[in-house]
Chains A and B, each alone.
Chain A
Amino acid sequence: MSQKNKKKEPGFKFIKTSGGIEEYHLESNNLRILTLEDHSAPVATFMVTYHVGSRNEAIGYTGATHLLEHLMFKGSKKFNKEKNTAIWSELQNIGAQINATTWNDRTNYFEVVPSEHLERAIAIEADRMRHAFLKDEDRQPEMTVVRNEFERGENSPFDVLDKNIWATAYQAHPYHHSTIGWRSDIENVSTKRLQEFYNMYYWPNNATVTVIGDFEKKRALALIKKHFGVHPSSQHAIPAMYTEEPEQEGPRRIIVKRGGQTGIVGIGHKTPEGLNKDTYALQVLGKILTEGKVSKLYKRIVDPGLATSLFMYDFPFKDCGMFISYVFLTPETDHNSVEEIVLQEYKQIIKEGIKQKELNRAKAQINANVAFSRDGSYAVASALNEAIAIGDWTFYSTFMDHIKKVSRKDVQRVAEKYLIEDQSTIGWFIPQD
Chain B
Amino acid sequence: MNNYFSEKIVVDEPEAGLSTFVMPTGAKDVITFAGSLLCGALYSPKKNREISSLTSGMLDKGTNNKDKFEVSDTLESVGAEINFFTTAHHLQFTGYCLKNDLETVLCLLAEQLREPLFSDEELSTLKKRLIGNLERTKEDTKKQAMIGLLRDLYPPHHPNYAHTTNTKIELVSSVSTKEIRALHKKTYGLGGFNFSAAGDVSPNTINALLKEQFSGWKDGAKKPYQLNLKARPVKPKERRIPISDKQSIDMYLGQAIGIDRQHKDYYPLRMAVYVLGGNFSARLMQTVRDEAGLTYGIGSSVLGTNFGSDGYWSTWATFAPALLEKGREMTQNQISKWYNKGITENELNAKKTTITGTYQVGLDSTGGLAGRILSNAEQGEKIEHLDKYPEIINNISLDKVNKTIKKHIKPKELTFVAAGTFVD
Binding site for B on A (CB under 8 A): 38-43, 45, 86, 88-89, 92-98, 112-114, 117, 140-152, 154-155, 157, 213, 258-262, 291-295, 299, 302-305, 307-309, 328-331, 357, 360-361, 364-369, 371-372, 374-379, 431-433
Cα A328 to Cα B27 with chains together (Å) = 36
Assess the A155–B76 pair: CB atoms within 8 A: no
Assess the B293–A145 pair: CB atoms within 8 A: yes
A-B contact count (CB 8 A): 212
Q: Is the C-beta of B364 less than 8 angstroms from some C-beta in chain A?
A: yes
Assess the A308–B248 pair: CB atoms within 8 A: no
Sorted nearest first, the 5 A-B pairs with minimum C-beta distance are A95-B357, A40-B26, A368-B79, A141-B293, A376-B365
Assess the A262–B281 pair: CB atoms within 8 A: no
Within 8 A of A (CB), among B10-30: 25-30
Determine the chain A residues whose CB is within 8 A of the CB of B247 once the complex forms: 150-152, 154-155
Determine the chain B residues whose CB is within 8 A of the CB of A331 once the complex forms: 131-132, 135
Q: Is the C-beta of B366 less than 8 angstroms from some C-beta in chain A?
A: yes
Determine the chain A residues whose CB is within 8 A of the CB of B297 once the complex forms: 148, 152
Determine the chain A residues whose CB is within 8 A of the CB of B60 once the complex forms: 293
Taking CB as reference atom, which chain B residue is nearest A142?
B293
Assess the A308–B132 pair: CB atoms within 8 A: yes
Pick the contact of B364: A144, A377, A431 (CB < 8 A): A377
Determine the chain A residues whose CB is within 8 A of the CB of B240 once the complex forms: none
Interface hit among B35-43, B66-74, B211-219, B306-314:
B66-74
Q: Is the C-beta of B404 less than 8 angstroms from some C-beta in chain A?
A: no
Q: Is the C-beta of B221 less than 8 angstroms from some C-beta in chain A?
A: no
Taking CB as reference atom, which chain A residue is nearest B368?
A376
Interface hit among B112-120, B256-264, B315-323, B377-385:
B315-323
Determine the chain B residues whose CB is within 8 A of the CB of A291 once the complex forms: 76
Interface hit among B84-92, B152-160, B284-292:
B284-292
Determine the chain B residues whose CB is within 8 A of the CB of A43 once the complex forms: 360-361, 363-364
Interface hit among B177-185, B223-231, B348-356, B406-414:
B348-356
Pick the contact of A364: B77, B296, B318, B365 (CB < 8 A): B77
Which of A140, A371, A432 has the most chain B CB atoms inside 10 A of its CB?
Answer: A371
Determine the chain A residues whose CB is within 8 A of the CB of B98 once the complex forms: 367-368, 371
* Additional A-B contacts beyond A92-B281, A260-B139 (16; CB < 8 A): A38-B26, A43-B363, A93-B351, A141-B292, A145-B290, A258-B245, A259-B243, A259-B246, A293-B68, A307-B129, A364-B79, A367-B79, A368-B79, A375-B366, A376-B364, A431-B139
Nearest CB of B to A2, in Å: 28
Write out, one digit per residue, whether chain B residues 242-283 have a CB within 8 A of any chain A CB (1) or not (0). 011111100000000000000000000000000000011100
Cα A94 to Cα B349 with chains together (Å) = 11
